[in-house]
Amino acid sequence: MFVVCGEALMDVFGVRDTPGGMDMDARVGGSPLNVALGLTRLGQRAAFVCTLSRDFLGERIVRFLQDEGVDLSLLQRSASRTTLSLVGVDSRGIPAYSFYGEGAADRELDLQALGELPEQVRAIHLGSFALAVQPVGTALRRLVERERSRRLIVWDPNIRLNVQPELAPWRELLDWMLARCDVVKISDEDLQLLLPGTTPQDFARRAQAAGCSLVVVTRGAQGAVAWSRAAQAEVPARPAELVDTVGAGDTFQAALLTWLAEAGLLGKEAPAELDAQALARMLDFAARAAAITCSRRGADLPRRAELPR
């Protein structure tokens, strides 16, 4: 069983002008939510740790997760509003983004009310902006400190500058998490934001020196590369008829974790011993999953039957 921690929100797209305003299209979103969804679709049990609003948007998110089979036993609810991410174009036709998250429900988390995690939880995934905002960031750090000696801690920085525009807090978070996570997956884009000029190889050395047992760097059309303490492997991106890349990174992460689970490698030290062949198989599985998502509109993550063994 996986526990996935972080935000859930509504992505709201401006579609077209109307005589009195604008048509909007709202979609359930949030990187951690997508990872929980991806794990569930790939046949894993994933419990989502988040606080969701009791407003009508929060209720819609809950129904979506229920319909998909995500485990909501650890979900918390709040009277605070749902986070909104608005996407449209301005008067010059340039993409415009507005983010409304201050004081929203997904920034709340009562660690005491969460209590002890179920015994069958083998791994905890964290990522995106929930660790970088308060008060949820402090609660999640305390959860990591509490659980890291007995469960696999997995992290994807997934930087969101529209939420936290300053890089200093993200860099502080990088140092803090590298010393506490077992598996880190980072995109080359995020790597260059955090550590300009740093190569994937240099980052892997830094992460492993801090204590990480498995380091993965995704490079878009250039594929992905991974390091365990025993080996290194690299795979090309899988060809796909590109529609968009929304949700591709979250898909890659969910598939990577699914591969580890199916291989029986969710123990604290297990990923460290992966050899080059196993690393390549893991990366290829994750790349195939991401390619499927890229071939479809939006974060439409694949199901296990779409990925032959």
Same CATH topology for 1-166 and 182-300: the answer is yes
pLDDT above 80: residue 93: no
Q: Where are the domains of the chain?
A: 1-166, 182-300
Element (H, E) at 16: strand 9-18
pTM exceeds 0.85: yes
Given 3-state DSSP classes, what are the helix, strand and coil percentages for the chain, each rounded to the nearest 5?
A: 40, 25, 35
Quick check: 73 and 63 in contact, CB under 8 A? no
Smallest Cα–Cα separation from 27: which of 302, 298, 301, 305?
Answer: 298
pLDDT tens digits for 256-276? 999 999 999 999 999 999 999
pLDDT band at 95 (very low <50, low <70, confident <90, very high): low
Q: Which fold has domain 182-300?
A: UDP-N-acetylmuramoyl-L-alanine:D-glutamate ligase (3.40.1190)
Q: Structurally, what CATH architecture does the domain formed by 1-166 represent?
A: 3-Layer(aba) Sandwich (3.40)
Query: Mean pLDDT for the chain?
Result: 95
pLDDT band at 92 (very low <50, low <70, confident <90, very high): confident
In this prediction, residue 217 carries a pLDDT of 98
Distance CA 1, CA 121 (A): 5
pLDDT tens digits for 18-31? 999 999 999 999 99
If you average pLDDT over residues 205-219, what whole number do you get? 98
